[in-house]
Structure 1
Amino acid sequence: MGPTITPIGDCGIRIHFGDEVSVKTNQKIIAYKSLLEKKDCEGITDIVPGYTTLSLFYDPSRYTYKQMFHIIEEIHDKVKIAPEKKAVIYHIPTCYGEPYGVDLHVVAKCNGISPEEVIAIHSGKNYYIYMLGFLPGFPYLGGLEKRIATPRLDTPRLKVPAGSVGIAGEQTGIYPLDSPGGWRIIGRTPVKLFEPEREPSILFEAGNYIRFEPIEADEFHVIIEKVENAAYRIKTTEYVGG
């Protein structure tokens, strides 16, 4: 059974892929998005992936809902769930704890473990990038261990520094820009996730993975200097499963 299609107002259409949030579902979404982008329809203004949906927005002076519906139907049989290219792991250097991870001890206390155990658990696996959003380059990641899941703040902070690594419920993510936010901050990366003048400006692509690599404060400052001088290259490796 294929996905279902519903309208969004008079200039949008949404493809629903069921209710299961999984890597397999996300790969279907990425496959549909890729084929729609290759069609290069000038009247499509935006394509927005979600955990279980793909939303298209279009110019109603160019397309009707019925025409958009048929465009989507045409690609059903062409979709290949297998990724077009092998996934990579982005290795993100992260300095955990004070002064950058102001909530590390709170996360540890909430879960009845030590801060060192939080770091070991958080940095001990690969996180799948389901989508980017909220801010340019903000990765929504799957795979956080329930052992370190922690509720978000009751009152969001007015400013969370760029590079902050946080936990909210059973999610983890990285703030690409200074921003208000209510996630529990456990560390910070010196890597810039979003740079308008860089090509590509956003560091990550959905469908790949992130692995957090613990570093000490002195290495954090060394990397910061390299980043500022455009002399730092993020480490990537091929994802082979597990």
Structure 2
Amino acid sequence: MRIRPVGAHALLLDCTAPTDLPEAALVEAWRAELWRRRELGDLTAVEIVPAARTVLLDGLPDPSATAQQLSTWAPAVVAATTRDQATLTTVHDDADHGVVVPVRFDGPDLPAVAQHWGVDVAAVRHRLTNTRFRVAFCGFAPGFPYLTGLPAELALPRLDTPRPRVPAGSVALAGPYAGIYPSASPGGWLLVGRTDLVLFDVTAEPPARLGPGTTVRMVAA
């Protein structure tokens, strides 16, 4: 892990340093620990924002002091990451369903995903409904969740030419992630299904239904 200053009141935790642990898992462990420390009052930060390989801490009154704290918390975070890798598998823990997302698996790219994976369409549905997903971070559009949980070897390419309009609720795959479009927008991910679940509502608190750290289970609608 590397700690980099960002402006006068922020730090960026870079989780791309050489390690045997997956970067996404390390980011999630840091997110969970930093949120926990903030709740305990051990950390003062206005924003803790996870991304694919980094975590941003903004609104720090004393970034240099916080950087020292982060260094002392690092061994516990690495230990938590190791434990998480042993328990977060592609098999559901029935005691932790998180948010259940009903999905109609009728996406136009479902056959292409099956071909990439070397299986039939039924096996793709089985894989997706038997994977324990977790929201790694949100981005691209308000409330768009990047879901981890699929094995690295199942990573998929994006479309060569993005679609000009992807309907809201579309369940999609790209790279190592699954995602759900919270609103209609252009998009280049492979569409495997759709859900009627509302993912982003500006009148709700919080507005995003699937925030970082949330576990997600897809079920066939």
TM-score, normalization by structure 1? 0.69
Q: Would you say the 8 A contact 1:128–1:142 is kept in 2?
A: yes
User: Which aligned pairs between 1:164-203 and structure 2 lie closer than 5 A?
Assistant: 164-203=170-209
Which one has the largest radius of gyration? 1
Q: Would you say the 8 A contact 2:31–2:48 is kept in 1?
A: no
Q: Which amino acid in the other structure matches residue 163 of structure 2?
A: R
Secondary structure of 1:96's aligned partner: coil
Counterpart CA distance in 1 for 2:70 and 2:3 is: 13
Secondary structure of 2:171's aligned partner: strand
- Of the three residues 149, 158, 161, the one matched with 1:155 is 161
Give the structure 2 partner of residue 8 of structure 1.
Answer: 6
Counterpart CA distance in 1 for 2:154 and 2:108 is: 15
Deviation at 1:145, TM superposition (A): 4.1
CA 1:147–1:122 in 2, change beyond 3 Å: closer, same or farther?
farther
Counterpart CA distance in 1 for 2:72 and 2:117 is: 47
- Of the three residues 91, 106, 129, the one matched with 2:100 is 91
User: Which aligned pairs between 1:203-222 and structure 2 lie closer than 5 A?
Assistant: 203-215=209-221
Counterpart CA distance in 2 for 1:148 and 1:78 is: 33
CA 1:46–1:29 in 2, change beyond 3 Å: closer, same or farther?
closer
Secondary structure of 1:109's aligned partner: helix
CA 1:40–1:110 in 2, change beyond 3 Å: closer, same or farther?
closer
Deviation at 1:177, TM superposition (A): 1.6
CA 1:49–1:23 in 2, change beyond 3 Å: closer, same or farther?
same
Q: Would you say the 8 A contact 1:7–1:13 is kept in 2?
A: yes
Render the CA deviation track for 1:160-206: whole Å, top value 9, x for unaligned.
11111001122211111212111000000110011111223211232
2:31 matches 1:29: yes
How many residues were matched structurally? 200
Counterpart CA distance in 1 for 2:12 and 2:120 is: 44
Counterpart CA distance in 2 for 1:87 and 1:4 is: 32
Please provide the CA RMSD for this pair. Answer: 3.0
Secondary structure of 1:106's aligned partner: helix
Give the structure 2 partner of residue 54 of structure 1.
Answer: 55
Q: Which amino acid in the other structure matches residue 58 of structure 2?
A: F
Q: Would you say the 8 A contact 1:129–1:141 is kept in 2?
A: yes
Of the structure 1 ranges 28-37 and 176-185, higher mean CA displacement relative to structure 2 is found in: 28-37
* Structure 1: gaps (5+ residues): 216-242
Counterpart CA distance in 1 for 2:100 and 2:194 is: 13
Report sequence identity in percent.
31
Render the CA deviation track for 1:117-159: whole Å, top value 9, x for unaligned.
2111221221122222222222212122467543110111121
